[in-house]
């Protein structure tokens, strides 16, 4: 681009050879090529190394392969992949996701217009194992430009960014520090929370990527214990750190959000898990429950009671209106 802004894409991968070519090809088919593609391969034992060697040889100067330290967990690999990129703006794209042709151009254009922002976020579509579109999310619940502390407060129940549709200013990432190393699975949420004191969050209107879902089976049962441990870390370490940096002294919102998210997990597990499996989660649930005063709720869950999420009138109304709003956004985007 004329201004010389450098835009990098990082791909953390491990044993996803079945999708890796599609991901790389989607980045090579951009209307505005990235200035570098950095693939971080963590000890893959399938065809991934051969595929990467082929693409790196064919696209010298564009595709670079790096290897994180042996034994790196998901968060360590994300930190390594982000730190390995040299662009002014950097991002992560999973090796099973797809960048639409406008992915780099739209993110880079927004970065040019908002050079002091911390994060650019965009709508995305959820796709199945064969690439078919399952649903679309236009991020209608967030404004076009959001300032701190709203960037933090709006994420108190979960990330307001898709891992497949964002870019961050490298200087903002360096100022925020690496994602907390103890995080096991919710590294994207921790990253977006840590960035909130370092610039505005910008939303662009067009769908830029496909986020692949459903091809890994029931992730709730497989990952719930990690999620529970991470939720405790998010509410007791990551959010307070961001609040400290923003000089937010009132922390009641963190406690309220922690309780609401715990209830949401218990409600989901009530429908997903039989009694004996519920009880295996109690050791991971209790530290979180003790931190927010909801140990009694976990005890009810362990006894087999059904836990229901609290539904507010505003939340109920939003649930009714969301499908209509997304249809209108889709129609507008395709005019």
Residues 157 and 59 occupy one common structural domain: yes
Please tell me whether residues 114 and 42 are part of one structural domain: yes
**320 part of a folded domain:** no
Note whether 16 and 72 are same-domain residues.
Answer: yes
What pLDDT is attached to residue 311?
58
Q: Where does the pLDDT of residue 214 fall: very low under 50, low under 70, confident under 90, or very high at 90 and above?
A: confident
160 pLDDT tier (thresholds 50, 70, 90)? very high
**Residue where a domain terminates, one of 212, 235, 251:** 212
Residue 324, CA distances (Å) to 163, 185, 206, 329 in order: 25, 32, 18, 9
CATH code of the domain containing 111: 3.90.550.10
Residues 36 and 155 in one domain: yes
State yes or no: pLDDT of 317 exceeds 70: no
Q: What is the pLDDT of residue 81?
A: 98
- The boundaries of the domain holding residue 110 are 8-212
Tell me: the pLDDT tens digits for 15-47?
999 999 999 999 999 999 999 999 999 999 999
- What DSSP letter does each residue of 233-282 carry, written as one string? HIIIIIHHHHHHHTT----HHHHHHHHHHHHHHHHHHHHH--HHHHHHHH
Tens-place pLDDT, residues 198-211: 999 999 999 999 99
Q: Which two tokens stand for residue 197?
A: 């004191």
Nearest to 164 by CA among 116, 219, 227, 122: 122
Domain boundary (191, 212, 233) is at 212
* pLDDT tens digits along 83-112: 999 999 999 999 999 999 999 999 999 999
Q: CA nearest 104: which of 8, 225, 3, 211?
A: 8
* Shared-domain flag, residues 34 and 130: yes
- Do the Cβ atoms of 30 and 208 come closer than 8 Å? no
Total domain count, the chain: 2
CA distance 85 to 64: 10
Q: Is residue 146 part of a domain?
A: yes
Cα–Cα distance for residue pair 326/53, rounded to 1 Å:
41
Residue 209, pLDDT score: 98
Same-domain status, 297 and 206 = no
């Amino acid at each position: 681009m004329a201004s010389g802004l450098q835009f990098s894409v990082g791909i953390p991968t491990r044993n996803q050879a079945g999708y890796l070519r599609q991901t790389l090809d989607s980045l090579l088919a951009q209307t505005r090529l990235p200035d570098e593609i950095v693939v971080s391969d963590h000890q893959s034992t399938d065809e991934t190394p051969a595929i990467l060697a082929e693409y790196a040889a064919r696209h010298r100067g564009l595709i670079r392969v790096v290897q994180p330290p042996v034994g790196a967990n998901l968060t360590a690999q994300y930190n390594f992949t982000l730190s390995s990129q040299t662009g002014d703006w950097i991002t992560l794209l999973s090796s099973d996701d797809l960048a639409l042709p406008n992915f780099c151009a739209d993110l880079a254009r927004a970065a040019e217009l908002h050079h002091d922002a911390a994060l650019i976020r965009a709508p995305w579509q959820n796709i199945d194992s064969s690439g078919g579109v399952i649903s679309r999310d236009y991020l209608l619940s967030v404004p076009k430009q959001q300032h701190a502390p709203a960037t933090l407060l709006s994420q108190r129940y979960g990330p307001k960014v898709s891992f497949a549709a964002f870019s961050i200013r490298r200087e903002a990432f360096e100022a925020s520090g690496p994602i907390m190393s103890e995080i096991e699975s919710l590294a994207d949420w921790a990253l977006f929370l840590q960035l909130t004191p370092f610039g505005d969050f910008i939303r662009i209107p067009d769908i830029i990527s496909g986020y692949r879902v459903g091809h890994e089976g029931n992730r709730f049962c497989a990952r719930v214990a990690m999620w529970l441990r991470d939720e405790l870390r998010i509410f007791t370490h990551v959010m307070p750190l961001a609040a400290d940096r923003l000089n937010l002294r009132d922390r009641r919102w963190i406690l309220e959000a922690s309780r609401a998210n715990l209830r949401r997990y218990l409600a989901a597990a009530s429908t997903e898990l039989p009694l004996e499996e519920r009880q295996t989660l109690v050791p991971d649930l209790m530290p979180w429950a003790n931190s927010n005063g909801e140990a009694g709720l976990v005890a009810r869950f362990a006894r087999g009671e059904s836990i229901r999420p609290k539904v507010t009138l505003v939340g109920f109304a939003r649930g009714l209106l969301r499908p209509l709003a997304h249809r209108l956004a889709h129609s507008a985007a395709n005019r």
